[in-house]
With several copies, the nearest count.
Chain A
Amino acid sequence: MKLPDKTVPMAEAVARVQDGATVMLGGFGVPGTPFLLIQELLRQGARDLTIVKNDANETGMGVDHLLAEGRVAKLITTHIGLNARAIEMMNDGRIEVEFCAQGILAERIRAGGAGLQAIVTDIGLDTELANGKAKVEVDGKPAMIETALRADAAFIHAAKADPFGNLGYAATARNFNPLMAMAADLVIAEAETVLPLGGLTPDEVHTPGPFVDHVVELAELSEEYDIVRR
C-alpha cells in the first residue's frame, strides 16, 4: 500500500464551498489564518456564510474582506475587538454574532471533530453566555450542555504538509487549526511547504492525514502573513 495523494489546485478545492455554508477558519490573529484560501473564497463569490473563527482579524485582513463584501451572515467567535467593522455590523444587525468563551469554542469544535454530540461544562454558568443553554447536574453540581460544532468546510493554514494531508504547524500558528481540521466535512489545508511522503516523520505530525481532504501548496505568501507593524 501507499498513502493516497490529496494535492489539488486551490480553486478546485475552494469551489466545493457553497452559498450558505458554515466555514471554519483557523488562526488566532495573524498566525495560522489561511489568508490565501479566504482570498480565493472571496474571489469565487460564496455568500450567506456562517464563519467560525476565534477572532475577526483586523480591518483590511482575512475575515474582514468577507465582512466588507457582505458575504457573512453569522460569525461564531470569541473576540472581535480588533475589527471595528465587525463590531459595527453586529451593532447594526447586519451580521449575527454568537460569542463563546475561547476554550469552550475550542472544545465545541473539538467535540464536533471527535464525533461527540456535546460537552458538559460549568464555564460561563453565571454569565449571559449561559442564556438559552440546557442545564444538567453532574455529580450534584450544576453545569450546562455546549453542543458540538461542525462545519461544511474548514480552511487550515499549515507550515508543512505531505500529499496525504499530514500537517505540521509553526509555533503559535497552531491554535485552532488542528481542532478545525477534525471538524468539517471538507477540510482544505493550505501549506507553506508540501514535502514528499515521509518528509514529515510520524512524530512530527500535528494533524493526521485521514482528517484532511485537500492539500494546496502556496507558491508564495501574501503580505497579510507578515509581521503586523503597529
Chain B
Amino acid sequence: MSGAKERMVARAAREIRPGMVVNLGIGLPTRVVNHLAADMPVCLHTENGLSGIGPTLPIDQADRNLIDAGGAYVSTVPGSAFFDSAASFALVRSGRLDMTMLGAFEVAQNGDLANWKIPGRFSPGAGGAIELAQKARRVLVLSTHTDRKGNPKLIENCTLPLTARGCVDRIFTDMAVIDVTPEGFALREIAEGLTLDDVIKATGAPLTLPEGEIPVF
C-alpha cells in the first residue's frame, strides 16, 4: 500500500470514538483496524453475524466457521456475540451501528453513493452495502481519489446505479479529507506533499475551501 493510502487509512481510524459500534467494509476499510489502540473501547461488527471482531488469524490458527463478511478468518474477543443474519441487519437498520466505512465507485456532492454496480461490466449484487449506507448513523467513504483511468470519483451527480441517496458524511482519499455539506463538497484536510490545485484538478465537482491554512494529514 502506498504511503498516501496508508496515511489515509490511519487518518480515517481517528474518526472512531470510544464506545462506538463500527462496521468496516471489505477492502481498504478493513485495514483501519490496524490503527486502533489495543485499549480502545470499541465494538467492531461484521454483517455475517458477529459483534466484537478480534484479530485476523493466519490460516494455521483459523477456525473454519469464523469469518468476517469479506471471508477473512477472524477471532473473538471477551464479550463477542454470534447472531443470525436477521439480527445482524436489525442492528444496522435500527440505528445501533454508529459508523460504517465503505468503498466507492462514485460519490456525488449531495452525498449520493454508488458502490455496487457498473451496468454491463460488473453486477455481483450489493450484499449488505445498501443497508450499511442507508442506515449507519455516520457513513464514511474510503477510496482512491480517482479511478484507475484517473477519472474523478467525487462528482456532481452519480452516473452509476445508487447504493443509497444522500448518505455519505465524510470522504477519506489518498489526496484529501472532504465533507459532504448542504453546500456540497467541503475540503477539510489535504495529503502531505500535495497542493490545493492537485486536489481541485482531481475532483469532479466544486470544492468549498476552509478559511486559513489547510491542515495536512
A-B contacts besides A1-B43, A114-B93, 5 pairs, CB < 8 Å: A4-B43, A103-B92, A112-B94, A203-B82, A208-B51
The distance from the CB of A84 to the nearest CB of chain B, in whole angstroms, is 10
A9 interface residue, CB < 8 Å from B?
Answer: no
B2 interface residue, CB < 8 Å from A?
Answer: no
| Closest A residue by C-beta to B68 | A172
CB contacts under 8 Å to A, within B146-167, are: 161-165
0 or 1 for each of B50-73: is its CB under 8 Å from A? (1 = yes) = 111000000100111111110101
A104 interface residue, CB < 8 Å from B?
Answer: yes
Please determine whether A107 and B78 come into contact, CB atoms closer than 8 angstroms: no
A sample of 12 cross-chain residue pairs with beta-carbon separation below 8 angstroms, ordered by A number, consists of A31-B66, A81-B125, A104-B89, A107-B89, A113-B94, A171-B65, A171-B82, A175-B85, A196-B78, A202-B80, A205-B82, A208-B81
A155 interface residue, CB < 8 Å from B?
Answer: no
Contacts of A112 in B (CB 8 A): 94
Please determine whether B89 and A106 come into contact, CB atoms closer than 8 angstroms: yes
The distance from the CB of A185 to the nearest CB of chain B, in whole angstroms, is 8
Contacts of B89 in A (CB 8 A): 102-104, 106-107, 114-115
Q: How far is the CA of A30 from the CA of B77 in the complex (A)?
A: 22
The distance from the CB of B105 to the nearest CB of chain A, in whole angstroms, is 14
Please determine whether A80 and B78 come into contact, CB atoms closer than 8 angstroms: no
0 or 1 for each of B6-29: is its CB under 8 Å from A? (1 = yes) = 000000000000110100000000
Contacts of A179 in B (CB 8 A): 84-86
Please determine whether A182 and B94 come into contact, CB atoms closer than 8 angstroms: yes
Q: How far is the CA of A79 from the CA of B41 in the complex (A)?
A: 32
The distance from the CB of B142 to the nearest CB of chain A, in whole angstroms, is 19
